[in-house]
Amino acid sequence: MLAVEQFFVIRGANSRVMLEEQPSREQLLLEIERLRQQVEDLKEEKADLEILLETTAEHSDTVETELRSRAFEAVREGEIKLAQFLEAIPIGVAVLDSQGQPYYVNHAGQQLLGQGVLQLNAVEDLSESYQIYIAGTDTIYPFDNLPIVRALRGENATADDLEIHQSHKKVPLEIWGTPIFDEGGKVAYAIAVFQDVTERKEAEADRHLFIKKLFDLNQNLEKSLDAESELTDAYGRFVPHQFLNLLGYESIIDVNLGDQVQQEMSVLFADIRDFTTLSETMNPQENFKFINAYLSRMEPAITSNNGFIDKYIGDAIMALFSDFADDAVKAGIAMLNILNDYNQHRQGVGYVPIQIGIGINSGSLMLGTVGGKSRMDSTVISDAVNLASRIEGLTKDYGVPLLISQQTLERLRNPADYAIRIVDKVQVKGKSQYVVVYEVFDADSPEILSAKLANLSVYNEAMLLCDRKDFREAGKLFEECLRTNPSDHVARIYLKRCRDWRSLLKGI
Amino acid sequence: MAMEINTEDYQICYDPATATVSFLGSIRLSGPAEYAPIAQLLTQVADVEPTKITLNLQQLEFLNSSGINMLSKFIIEIRKTARVRIAVQGSQSIGWHGKSLRNFQRLMPGLQLDFL
């Protein structure tokens, strides 16, 4: 168009010059050709633009389609991956859609259920179709209690009381049901995750069995322990526990022959005076009944004062006490008090009262076990035992019930707590040394106790004079003691001795 | 004269030995204005090349519509001068190459198209 316009403008501008001149035919043809070419160019340009537009639009569509399909593929790939994950999970996964139709069962799930996704007529058929039973029974599991059906109702639920009956095996399962909600909050799917709990059930059963065995074992052990402690108790009546404890043992079973220990202890000997005479009046049965009645009364006096009975020798008691001598002396006093009560009882029923003598000595004792393979016993080896026995013998001579040695007196925490007075000196057998012997008279009757205490200084003076062989003066003082306390056997004995010595000396 | 464009998403380079302009990566620029530097690079190449220009698009993963537009205009330009020939190399494995690169032949029937 532009070219045509130009042509006419040129013609106009030159109209005066070319007024008379008509454009030559060649010129016109040229012009037409030029215009034709221009139209062609424009057509081509238009075609180019159309192609360009189409190309661009087409490209746009191609790329868009490609992108969409790629995105779709990516999603699908993601889904496939997720499905692969689900398939690979070693526990069962099953999905119901919102209508209760099985939608998906993973590989492990198919193994456990024995079948995969089934077409059901209704969700009510779920238990029947998958052969789900109440564990240990032939009862079909109520479908609406199934965790996956409960999940369909929007609940989170678990159960482990069900089992799948496959053709030749039963698989106990534990199932968790979880609902999956859509954006509207409605249940879109229900997922069940389940696993075979055969091993766990077996382990549980094993554990129960094990616990029961352990329980039985414990009971047996308890019985054995009871039996052992009964046995130990029984032995304890023959071998004192304290004796074992001193040897460092809990039980007699542990004791070995030859076990021994050395200890500072006090030994108490107690004997029924003139038992032989008494015994002759009774038959054997009465004898034992009497001895046992007596011993069973005496035993608490010893045990309650921390002592233990080492042995009974006929009617005699040998008891041992650790630590200070107070326990032994208090036990002796307690025995005499018990005896007083016992005698009152005896007199009340017409029996003669009995008298006992108690001797106590303290010193180093060797305790140990002696014997052979088949007969073993505990024993005490010590001079202190012999001396205690001898002191006990002296009680008869002096007519007093309780004598203790110098060694025992020295081991009292506070000798002034007791009513004590000197009685004699005895030579230890086989040795040149003398041991002073004292009377403990706390158990005397109140009158005699107070009389002895009142005379104590006079008595002590008399004993001192006697020791110095001043028998005249000593005798006078003993007489004085006897005036206020005529029943003082010791004073009487010494008075007699003083007189005897004097007459003996006179004779010389 | 910059005969190379390097960005994180795409690279364009000119190899004078083979008279080849290679496009790599994804080009998603917006509008003719942003494509101007690439169009300029192509024009410069066309100015120095005596006979034939090869556009290697084999590793061009993505090109948006403005990009196709720019390439199409370049091809029209070359066709008009009728001085040099154009060869385009595409890839069979890139989906859009098949359709969109064939459209270049509508603009330049003599365009040599190779899918490798």
* Listed ranges A174-178, A262-266, A370-374, B30-34; the one with the highest mean pLDDT: A174-178
Residues 51-70 of chain A with CB under 8 A from chain B are 51-52, 54-60, 62-63, 66
**Using a CB cutoff of 8 Å and minimum separation of 24, what contacts does A439-446 make?**
A439/A398, A439/A400, A439/A402, A439/A403, A439/A490, A440/A329, A440/A332, A440/A333, A440/A402, A440/A403, A440/A404, A441/A400, A441/A402, A442/A333, A442/A418, A443/A332, A443/A333, A443/A336, A443/A337, A443/A340, A443/A401, A443/A402, A444/A419
Would you say B65 and B27 are in contact if contact means Cβ atoms under 8 Å apart? no
Predicted confidence (pLDDT) per residue in A115-125, tens digit: 889 888 888 99
Strand order in the sheet with A157-165: A102-105, A92-97, A187-196, A170-181, A157-165, A132-134
Contact A62 B99 (CB under 8 A): yes
Both tokens of A483, joined, read 């005036």
- Residue whose pair of structure tokens reads 């479908």 in the numeric block: A143
Contact B95 A52 (CB under 8 A): no
Half-sphere exposure of A391 (CA within 13 A, CB side): 36
Would you say A258 and A369 are in contact if contact means Cβ atoms under 8 Å apart? yes
Q: Which residues in chain A have their CB less than 8 angstroms from residue B63's CB?
A: 59, 63
Burial B42-79 (b: 16+ CB within 10 A, else e): beebbeebeeebbbbbbebbbbbbbbbbbbbbbbbebb
Range list of H helices, B18-64: 31-48
Å between A80 CA and nearest CA of chain B:
23
Would you say A73 and B95 are in contact if contact means Cβ atoms under 8 Å apart? no
Domain topology for B4-115:
Transcription Regulator spoIIAA (3.30.750)
A285-289, A427-431, B71-75, B96-100: segment of lowest average pLDDT: A427-431
CB proximity A347 to B under 8 Å: no
Mean pLDDT of A206-223: 81
| Cα–Cα distance measured from residue B40 to residue A205, given in angstroms and rounded to the nearest whole number | 84
Mean pLDDT of A372-384: 76
* Interface predicted TM-score of the whole assembly (ipTM), two decimals: 0.81
Q: What is the pLDDT of residue A1?
A: 43
Predicted confidence (pLDDT) per residue in A466-479, tens digit: 888 888 899 999 99
Cα distances (angstroms) measured from residue A319 to each of A158, A207, A379, A437:
73, 54, 12, 19
SS3 A92: strand
Half-sphere exposure of A320 (CA within 13 A, CB side): 26
What mean pLDDT, rounded, does chain A reach?
Answer: 85
Bridge pairing between strands A356-371 and A402-405: parallel
Domain positions in chain B = 4-115
Whether the predicted pLDDT of A4 surpasses 50: no
Whether the predicted pLDDT of A253 surpasses 90: no
Instruction: Compute and round to an integer the Cα radius of gyration of chain B.
Output: 13
Half-sphere exposure of B31 (CA within 13 A, CB side): 2
Whether the predicted pLDDT of A3 surpasses 50: no
Q: What is the pLDDT of residue A373?
A: 67
Whether the predicted pLDDT of A323 surpasses 70: yes
Handedness of CA A52, A57, A58, A59 (dihedral sign): positive
The count of other CB atoms within 10 Å of the CB of residue A159 is: 21
Å between B47 CA and nearest CA of chain A:
22
Q: Which residues in chain A have their CB less than 8 angstroms from residue B113's CB?
A: none
Would you say B23 and B57 are in contact if contact means Cβ atoms under 8 Å apart? yes
**Helix A456-467 vs helix A446-454: angle between axes, to the nearest 10 degrees?**
60
Percentage, residues of chain A above pLDDT 90: 42
Would you say A241 and A255 are in contact if contact means Cβ atoms under 8 Å apart? no
A57-66, A249-258, A269-278: segment of lowest average pLDDT: A249-258
A218-232, A280-294, B24-38: segment of lowest average pLDDT: A218-232
Handedness of CA A376, A382, A388, A389 (dihedral sign): positive
- From B73, B96, B107, residue closest to A59, measured CB to CB: B96
